[in-house]
Amino acid sequence: MENTQYATSIPEIDAAVDHLCSPRSLGSVWLQSAQSSRMPQTAVLREIMQRLRAILFPGYFGSSVTSGSVKYHIAANLDSVYHLLADQIRRGFTFLHAIQGDEQDAQETADRANACTINLIQEIPKIRDLLALDAQAAYEGDPAASSPAETIFCYPSLYAMVHHRIAHVLYENKVPLIPRMIQEMAHSHTGIDIHPGASIGSHFFIDHGTGVVIGETSIIGDHCRLYQGVTLGALSFPKNADGTLVKGFARHPILGNKVTVYAGATILGRIHIGDKCVIGGNVWVTEDIPEGSHVVQGKHIQ
């Protein structure tokens, strides 16, 4: 076999290919048995989210429906979501097994993916209830909004919350990778970055939203409202004896009910912000705030 047949006319390309395919270089990025044919698929997740939007808000999104025919479309979309999502979740588990170098029992993985999907489907009516209240909150909280319907149709807050409330159920079911991808789709679209682990109550509204970050272990009560650039973050990252980060411990704030956080405020650590607190714009908070407080610029709490 003549090796020269492989040569391109441009030696720099050949050299780069050789480098990129050397065991050392490939090894630096090569996931054990990584194969794009087995990876979760962004385009399919996008279709799933579109069908879910049509299920949650019929008439606004998806095929045209009437009160007579709405059930048919919801049922067909839900059935398709079931098939499509179970497969994506299975891919998520496969990815996790590849990372962990686990043996994987194909049937067990499929069963587990199915169970997670069924659990999400059971939660969807509750998710719609919450989103309807979120729309009401958006309408009531934004003087520029003309109706809850408008906020359902085109507000970034509602878009982000559809993604979050779905992703959160999957996270609770310990589905790997998929909730994170659903989060990033909303993050990229809206600039609102809510970790799937965050627990968020009813009547939630984020105005404008760009730059909002809500960390993995955040807990938010009912009737809360955030503005753009708000961070609910961690204050420090304790490490294990071996120097690696401790993963998963409670490190983000807890907000009570009816808390408002204005633009650019930063709330860090496992602190409690009491009911009906108002945190002013650009304020920096790292300690508990008692119920009903108004915290403003110049009175940083740390």
Binding positions for its own copies, 88-107, rule CB under 8 A = 95-96, 98-99
Provide the β-strand partners of residue 295: 279
Name residues contacting its own copies, limited to 281-300 (CB under 8 A): 281-282, 284, 296-298, 300
17 DSSP β-pair partners? none
Smaller CB separation from its own copies, 26 or 292:
26
Q: Which of 67, 103, 241, 242 binds its own copies (CB under 8 A)?
A: 67
What is d(CA 267, CA 224) in angstroms, rounded to the nearest whole number? Answer: 14
CB of 203 to its own copies, least distance (A): 13
Binding piece for its own copies, criterion CB under 8 A, among 160-168, 187-195, 269-277, 287-295: 187-195
Among residues 1, 43, 103, 242, the one that binds its own copies under rule CB under 8 A: 1
Q: Are 95 and 176 in contact (CB under 8 A)?
A: yes
| Cβ distance to its own copies smaller for residue 96 or 291 | 96
Q: What is the 3-state secondary structure (H, E, C) of 50-78?
A: HHHHHHHCECCECCCCCCCCHHHHHHHHH
Among 85, 113, 166, 177, binds its own copies (CB under 8 A): 177
- Name residues contacting its own copies, limited to 103-132 (CB under 8 A): 118, 121-122, 124-125, 128-129, 131-132
Q: Which helix (H) or strand (E) holds 279?
A: strand 278-279
Q: Of 274, 296, 300, whose CA–CA distance to 285 is shortest?
A: 300
Applying CB under 8 A, among 105, 246, 290, 292 the residue interacting with its own copies is 246
- In angstroms, the CA 196 to CA 159 distance is 14
301 and 285 in contact (C-beta within 8 Å)? Answer: yes
Which of positions 258-277 make contact with its own copies (CB under 8 A)?
Answer: 263-264, 266, 268
**Could you give the C-alpha distances from 28 to 17, 21, 97, 221, in angstroms and in order?**
15, 11, 19, 43
Residue 259 C-beta: closest distance to its own copies, Å: 16
Number of residues that bind its own copies (CB under 8 A): 132
Decide whether 246 or 290 has the Cβ nearer to its own copies.
Answer: 246
Question: Which of the residues 138 through 157 are near its own copies (CB under 8 A)?
Answer: 140-144, 146-147, 149-150, 152-156
The torsion angle over the Cα atoms of residues 98, 102, 108 and 114, rounded to 10 degrees, is -40
Yes or no: say if 216 and 197 are a contact pair by the CB < 8 Å rule: yes
Q: Considering the complex, state which of residue 256 and residue 262 has its C-beta at the smaller distance from its own copies.
A: 262
CB burial of 205-232 (b: ≥16 within 10 Å; e: otherwise) equals: bbbbbeebbbbbbbbbbbbbbbbbbbbb
CB of 214 to its own copies, least distance (A): 10
* Closer Cβ to its own copies, 46 or 210, answer by number: 210
Q: Does 240 bind its own copies (CB under 8 A)?
A: no
Binder of its own copies out of 44, 59, 287, 288 (CB under 8 A): 59
Residue 49: CB minimum distance to its own copies, A: 15
CA distance 83 to 270: 39
Told to check if 74 binds its own copies by CB under 8 A, we report yes
CA dihedral for 143, 144, 146, 151, sign (positive or negative) = negative
Answer yes or no whether residue 231 interacts with its own copies by CB under 8 A: yes
Considering only residues 2 to 41 of the shown chain, the ones binding its own copies according to CB under 8 A are 3, 5-10, 12-13, 15-22, 25-26, 28-31, 34-39
